[in-house]
Structure 1
Amino acid sequence: MEHIFLGNGPAQLKEFWCKWKQLHPEDDVFSTHDSSRLPSCVPMMLHLDEGTSHKRKGIMVLSVQIVCGKGSKKSTGHNFLGSTYLSRMLFSVLLARTHSRKKHVLNSLLAEWQKDLSDCYRNGIEVSGVPGVMKMWPVILACKGDWPALTKAGGLLRHHLRDAPNSDNPPGICHLCRAGQLGYAWNAFESDAPWLHADSPLPWNTPSALTNLAQNKKDPASFYAVDLFHVCHKGVVADYVASAIETRPTIIESVSFESVFLSKPPCVCR
């Protein structure tokens, strides 16, 4: 139990759900579990990622990550401290050669995962050793992962590989908005960009089994959450940082060979 609660008790969980309700009042957890149960509801996230296995062959990793952890070096409540082996619960793995050739294999595995998680969410799990908690209810807040994993998990039709500027009816590149579709240029960054203010249709024709998990039914696409690590640290933010290198002009008093080529270059990296 210490690997699930990570030092958090009913008081910390109650505080979490109070804050969560301010941001997501339509979440199913508030209609399924009353105020007496919320301090025993443990927030979690599904995590899917495609990594490399033996001989650099692709492998899909499916796990559950605890949201409320031991904090970080600067704050409490986060889940950054301690070993990741103790805060991420492995469910299964699949070699890419298996689920890429036979899509029903991954879909069947997700369906079984959903059944197990939904049963725990509805009926709870009896626990011991946690003060003030006799029964816990795991609550899945979202599914996160890199873009290829999210595309497969959600059966998404709009994703990062669907940019088709020459098409008469481009499908779109984002499951959360209409960016990339006809009339919604994804590279429009103005405050009045059309994709920012348009209603977004569902990004799938056939819903994934994960849509049966308790979630915000008014915005089901948001269940597939953007992974900040892949988007920021390994994505667009890294590009912005690399583009922030500027050359600062310096007045060179002497134009001799030594002063220009042997002195320290007049450049800074911000």
Structure 2
Amino acid sequence: MVQVVLTGVSVAYKIGFTHDPLERVQGYLQDGYSRMHLISVSVSSLLAKFKEFGFALDIPISKIDVGYPKGLMPMIRPTDFYAHLAGLDKISLLYAEQDTQVLSKFWARFAVLEPWNTINDSFEAGTMVPERTIPLLLHGDEARSRKHLPMMVVNTHPIIGYGCKAYENWFSDAPLMKNQAGGVSLKGSVLATRFLHFVMPKKCYGPDSVFLDRMFDELAKDLARLQTEGIQVNGERWHLPIIAATGDWQFFAKLGRLTRCYTHVSKRSGQKTLNGICHLCCAGQANYPWEDFVDAPLWMPSVGTEEPWEQTPSLIRRLHCDSSNRATFFRPDFWHCLHLGAGKAFIASAVVEWLRVVPGCSDLQSPHYTWLTNRNEKLYCRCISETTMGFDSLQKLPSGGWQKASDTTLLMEFLEHFCECHSEVARGDAILHWVWVAATNINLSIRTLYQGGLWLDQHHGRTAAVCGLNFLKAYGHLVSLCLRADRDRFPVTPKFHMLHHLFLELKINSGKHSWALNMLGTSVQQDETFVGILGRHSRRVGPVHTALRSLQRYLAHAAEHLTPEFRQV
């Protein structure tokens, strides 16, 4: 086995053995490491060798002129990436290796849900064929790069996936129903289901993010070619349109230059939000309160009446979207809103309220450990304590201190279990009773969503939606009770408003149509893992060519999962 070392001026960069200085490596050679050879090669020629022997995807990295004074920005164009997949006869990975009828079924149901989407005109005109059209999602988020500086990571992925564990278990004895529901894209390696296009360190954004905007504009042009010209697959033309952008609210604010977003929320009591807090409606403006979680909120008639930008974003101009409300192209993320938002706020305040009748956190930890052991689960935050719940005293507002979204799921289920075990106490206290109601409803909603698949029938859709709305109503009631008791509990943030949108939309679609699109279809929990991998890549390369080296590492890493059969060992 030949060991390869890349030699620089004073440092030897090595693959597979060490990153020691050159002098020390030469000492290894003198000490008898005869199998190690020093070879001076460039990174580009090394990557070419990797591609030749199947250790990296053979996809070109384009250089984009965005005006950045220090050089061109690298990008893996979507047209190049998906053409490469087609050339490897792996295009079926984009619809979970199923029959192409799954694509026809998707577009038939999608047309019912979004009759005003411009993609329906392409199908009617015959320029696109449903069974040869694969729906994709665009995702972006900032990873943690060197010195904790942000780095934008942008990728695409299919909306049709292999499902998840709960989905597999739920439909284990009903294959026909499983086939009808389809799977969300939450299963499998993220390097085999998420596809990188570019990364950009914060220092390259430019003044007012002008260079980042130009990068997105170039990406939008290439994505437009995917949906108009398409790619050749076995002599046939296939199209790959982007049907939505997913991510956190901060990404939407950057991408769309939103004039209405969460940053406009009131920071203190009595302060008004003139511009509004939501890109989907006018909530937060005068006469449109957003904190009232009812079935017919006052902001509902304002949905789609005003666009949340001064200048139409490039993605909206170039890609297909719902012409009746173009802002819906930016889909709220259920995972961010609940597991990393509303759920944490609810659990922290609920636990603190239970401490009024339970002597201390230690009395919660013992049953909690027993419950986790019986389920063979573990918390990444390890235990329920003052630190994890984020409170110093009963007079302060609790805030969940854990970072893993899976902890929110476990803590929510344990909270329901604890309320059931102490049902007499819960029934005798109004606040604890509504905590029990809220926890029971949101847990049922989450289970239904994860079990249901990509498409929810009317029963599952209505169950998930009604239980989710019941959680929001119970939470609002808890806010009222704590205010009357003069206790600072259960904060209301804009993420609750996004959940209100998601559950109301699901309830309306489930009532009108046979099938409703599961909000987990646009969830980004897998994308967050992908972004974390790219962040780790960026911290292991030099600071000068961070973007280029990160893309090169990605091509090598992705080859392990996408094309392992082509590796020549």
Q: TM-score range by the shorter chain?
A: 0.7 to 0.9
* TM-aligned CA deviation for residue 182 of structure 1: 1.8
SS in 2 for 1:50: strand
Instruction: Return the letter of the residue paired with 2:294.
Output: E
SS in 2 for 1:138: coil
Distance 2:293 2:339 in 1: 21
* TM-aligned CA deviation for residue 100 of structure 1: 6.0
1:89 matched to 2:195: yes
SS in 2 for 1:109: helix
- 2:225 — aligned with what? 119
Structure 1 segment 233-244 matched on structure 2, within 5 A: 233-244=339-350
Task: Check whether the contact 1:13–1:42 (CA below 8 A) recurs between aligned residues.
Answer: yes
Residue of 178, 200, 204 corresponding to 2:309: 204
Structure 1 segment 28-43 matched on structure 2, within 5 A: 28-34=118-124, 37-43=129-135
- 1:44 — aligned with what? 136
Residue of 215, 220, 242 corresponding to 2:326: 220
Name the CA shift for 1:7/1:248 in 2 (closer, same or farther; >3 Å): same
CA deviations over 1:27-85 (Å, ceiling 9, x no partner):
22211124771011000010011221112111111111111122222244221111111
Which 5+ residue runs of structure 2 have no aligned equivalent?
A: 1-84, 169-181, 368-413, 417-569
Distance 1:72 1:195 in 2: 35
1:135 matched to 2:237: yes
Residue of 137, 148, 159 corresponding to 1:67: 159
Name the CA shift for 1:135/1:166 in 2 (closer, same or farther; >3 Å): same
Distance 1:195 1:123 in 2: 40
Larger radius of gyration: 2
Name the CA shift for 1:179/1:40 in 2 (closer, same or farther; >3 Å): same
Distance 2:257 2:279 in 1: 10
Report which of the two has the higher share of helix.
2
Instruction: Give the paired residue count.
Output: 255
Name the CA shift for 1:264/1:44 in 2 (closer, same or farther; >3 Å): closer
SS in 2 for 1:143: strand
- 2:265 — aligned with what? 163
Task: Check whether the contact 1:144–1:226 (CA below 8 A) recurs between aligned residues.
Answer: yes
Name the CA shift for 1:41/1:184 in 2 (closer, same or farther; >3 Å): same
Distance 1:92 1:264 in 2: 49
* TM-aligned CA deviation for residue 192 of structure 1: 4.4
- 1:151 — aligned with what? 253
Distance 1:264 1:247 in 2: 10
Distance 1:122 1:264 in 2: 62
Distance 1:229 1:64 in 2: 18
Range with bigger deviation, 97-106 or 87-96 = 97-106
Report which of the two has the higher share of strand.
1
Name the CA shift for 1:193/1:69 in 2 (closer, same or farther; >3 Å): closer
* TM-aligned CA deviation for residue 110 of structure 1: 1.2
Structure 1 segment 164-203 matched on structure 2, within 5 A: 164=266, 166-167=271-272, 170-199=274-303, 200-203=305-308
Instruction: Return the letter of the residue paired with 2:213.
Output: N
SS in 1 for 2:183: coil
Instruction: Return the letter of the residue paired with 2:321.
Output: Q
* TM-aligned CA deviation for residue 97 of structure 1: 2.8
Range with bigger deviation, 114-123 or 6-15 = 6-15
Calculate the TM-score normalised by the size of structure 2: 0.42
Residue of 173, 180, 186 corresponding to 1:80: 186
Name the CA shift for 1:87/1:264 in 2 (closer, same or farther; >3 Å): closer
Instruction: Return the letter of the residue paired with 1:174.
Output: C
- 1:15 — aligned with what? 105
SS in 2 for 1:235: helix
- 1:257 — aligned with what? none
Calculate the TM-score normalised by the size of structure 1: 0.84
Task: Check whether the contact 1:68–1:77 (CA below 8 A) recurs between aligned residues.
Answer: yes
Q: CA RMSD in A?
A: 2.7
CA deviations over 1:230-261 (Å, ceiling 9, x no partner):
111111123223344364998xxxxxxxxx99
SS in 1 for 2:262: coil
* TM-aligned CA deviation for residue 264 of structure 1: 5.9
Range with bigger deviation, 185-194 or 12-21 = 185-194
Task: Check whether the contact 1:124–1:138 (CA below 8 A) recurs between aligned residues.
Answer: yes
1:101 matched to 2:193: no
Task: Check whether the contact 1:163–1:170 (CA below 8 A) recurs between aligned residues.
Answer: no
Counting aligned pairs with the same residue, the percent is 27
CA deviations over 1:119-177 (Å, ceiling 9, x no partner):
1211121013xxxx82210011101111111101011011111124535x611111011
Range with bigger deviation, 185-194 or 231-240 = 185-194
